[in-house]
């Protein structure tokens, strides 16, 4: 892994069609740090080429030809054609144009999870949250605790929270997922944090937003509600795709050859970063710009990989590939952390934890 040291990523990704003029007439200021303008990272045509490559990667690793099996792994969340923009100041990566926030909520509410995949998806979530819950427990302390999860999806975090004695409430806009989770005994409210906050009380010990924060069209209303729910000293836990890692790993792969190039392609593919199916690719600096003004102080950053994608429809060699690649990625991330690479450019996902400051020390809200 020594040879895979960080190199500065170029301002345009090195794959796909030749760069073209931006389809955006006037690039907007950065939504995280208010830099005057975002830069073009990939044209719409280049972004579409990334998406085709992601589908080809996963199609070659599936036994099944079912469209939903491929869509879940390759499209993931956002699949409409869009340009990719970046902020030079805070390293935020953004899909452009951004969809209407209400349209996003409606799309999530209408999403369908195949019933025969539900068990696998719950198991995949449980696997990743078993690694996160001990970290969160150290931050909020032992004993009974009250938590809220925004975007509870199939209930993996709620299941692990139950095993350590926490009282956790989930929130999700999808009525089918809410009904299923309730059927398994979880307390899940249908809607958004803004629409359900009045039901949740105050002095919550933690608000967790795993794999959902990056899909918020406007994160500020959610952050304001989270700050109001949390007790002083309570914890906000975020898990986001890492925009800097997206750029870095693509740039490294473009320059690599042979087995190193195949390894880097697998790093991207098994973390849903061969393409960019997210609204935002945050980094530590861009998260701080968005979160801290709501009265939070960052206390911990952990680089990680995406939870398991392989399932019954995945070929045997691909199951082994995913396990091996992600084990090596975790080693790579630990090496970077020990060497003081605070931005963790090899980490495809970031877990970032913030503590709610006492009211007397909070800054003005955004």
Question: Over the stretch 244-275, which tens digit does the pLDDT of each residue have?
Answer: 999 999 999 999 999 999 999 999 999 999 99
Q: How confident is the model at residue 186 (pLDDT cuts 50, 70, 90)?
A: very high
The two tokens of residue 168 are: 């956790």
- The first and second tokens of residue 248, run together, are 């870095």
| Structural domain contains residue 366 | no
pLDDT tens for 60-75 read 999 977 777 776 676 6
Residue 149 lies in a domain: yes
Decide if 2 is inside a domain.
Answer: no
The number of angstroms, rounded, from the C-alpha of 65 to the middle of its chain's C-alpha atoms is 27
Which of 55-69, 143-157, 206-220 is predicted least confidently? 55-69
33 part of a folded domain: yes
Cβ neighbours of residue 17 under 8 Å, at least 6 residues apart?
Answer: 43, 45, 46, 49
Q: State the pLDDT confidence band at 4, using cuts at 50, 70 and 90.
A: very low
Q: Shortest CA distance to 291 belongs to which of 362, 231, 354?
A: 354
Higher-pLDDT residue of 106, 224: 224
For the segment 313-333, the average pLDDT, to the nearest whole number, is: 96
* Reported confidence tier of residue 8, pLDDT bands at 50, 70, 90: very low
pLDDT tens-digit map of 93-109: 999 888 777 777 777 77
Integer-rounded Cα Rg, in Å, for the chain is: 20
7 within a domain of the structure (yes/no): no
Is the residue at 3 inside a domain?
Answer: no
CA distance linking residue 178 with residue 191, whole number of Å: 9
154-163, pLDDT tens digit by residue? 999 999 999 9
pLDDT higher at 17 or 307? 307
Q: Is the pTM of this model over 0.85?
A: yes
pLDDT value, residue 70: 73
Quick one: average pLDDT of 12-17? Answer: 36
96 neighbors 63 (Cβ within 8 angstroms): no
The residues, ordered by sequence, that sit 6+ positions from 342 with a Cβ below 8 Å of its Cβ are: 284, 301
Q: How far apart are CA 52 and CA 104, in angstroms?
A: 23
Check: CB of residue 206 under 8 Å from CB of residue 230: yes
* Phi, psi of 37, deg, nearest 5: -155, 145
Residue 117 maps to which CATH number? 3.40.50.150
Joined tokens for residue 32: 């995280």
What confidence score (pLDDT) does residue 71 get?
Answer: 67
Q: Which domain holds residue 308?
A: 12-361
Residue 270, both tokens: 């098994």
49 falls within a domain: yes
Task: Note whether 344 and 350 are within 8 A (CB).
Answer: yes
Over 60: is that where the pLDDT of 361 sits? no
Report the percent of the chain where pLDDT is more than 90.
Answer: 68
| Preceding peptide of 97 cis, ω within 30° | yes
Instruction: At 216, give phi and psi (nearest 5°).
Output: -80, 120
What angle in degrees, to the nearest 10, is found between the helix axes of 316-338 and 258-269? 90
Say what the pLDDT of residue 81 is.
Answer: 77
Question: Mean of the per-residue pLDDT values for the chain?
Answer: 87
Cα(first)–Cα(last) distance of the chain, in Å?
42
**Domain count of the fold of the chain:** 1
Report the side by side order of strands in the sheet with 187-190: 187-190, 167-172, 146-150, 204-210, 230-241, 349-356, 296-304
Residue 107 lies in a domain: yes
Q: Which two tokens stand for residue 100?
A: 């209407």
Q: Kindly report the number of other CB atoms within 10 A of residue 337's CB atom.
A: 16
What is residue 76's predicted lDDT score, i.e. its pLDDT? 61
Residue 13 has pLDDT above 50, yes or no: no
């Amino acid at each position: 892994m020594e040879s895979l040291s960080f190199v500065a990523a170029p301002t345009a990704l090195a794959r796909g069609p030749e760069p073209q003029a931006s389809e955006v007439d006037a690039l907007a200021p950065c939504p995280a740090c208010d830099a005057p303008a975002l830069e073009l990272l990939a044209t719409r045509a280049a972004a579409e080429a990334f998406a085709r490559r992601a589908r080809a990667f996963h199609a070659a690793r599936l036994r099944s030809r079912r469209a939903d099996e491929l869509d879940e792994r390759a499209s993931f969340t956002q699949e409409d054609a869009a340009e990719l923009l970046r902020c030079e100041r805070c390293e935020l990566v953004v899909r452009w144009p951004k969809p209407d926030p209400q349209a996003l909520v409606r799309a999530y509410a209408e999403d369908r999870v195949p019933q025969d995949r539900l068990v696998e998806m719950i198991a995949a979530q449980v696997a990743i949250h078993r690694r996160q819950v001990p970290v969160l427990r150290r931050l909020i302390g032992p004993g009974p605790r009250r938590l809220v999860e925004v975007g509870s999806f199939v209930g993996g975090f709620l299941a692990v929270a139950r095993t350590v004695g926490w009282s956790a409430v989930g929130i999700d806009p999808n009525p089918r997922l809410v009904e299923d989770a309730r059927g398994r005994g979880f307390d899940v409210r249908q809607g958004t944090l803004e629409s359900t906050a009045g039901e949740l009380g105050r002095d919550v010990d933690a608000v967790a937003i795993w794999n959902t924060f990056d899909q918020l069209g406007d994160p500020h209303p959610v952050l304001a509600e989270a700050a109001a729910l949390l007790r002083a000293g309570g914890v906000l836990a975020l898990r986001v795709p890492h925009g800097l890692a997206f750029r870095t790993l693509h740039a490294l792969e473009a320059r690599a050859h042979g087995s190193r190039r195949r390894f880097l392609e697998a790093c991207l593919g098994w973390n849903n970063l061969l393409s960019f199916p997210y609204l935002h690719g945050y980094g530590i600096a861009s998260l701080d710009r968005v979160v801290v003004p709501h009265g939070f102080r960052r206390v911990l950053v952990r680089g990680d990989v995406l939870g398991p994608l392989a399932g019954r429809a995945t070929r045997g060699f691909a199951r082994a590939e995913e396990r091996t690649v992600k084990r090596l990625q975790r080693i790579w991330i630990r090496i970077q952390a020990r060497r003081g690479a605070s931005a963790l450019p090899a980490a495809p996902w970031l877990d970032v934890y913030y503590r709610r400051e006492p009211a007397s020390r909070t800054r003005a809200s955004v």
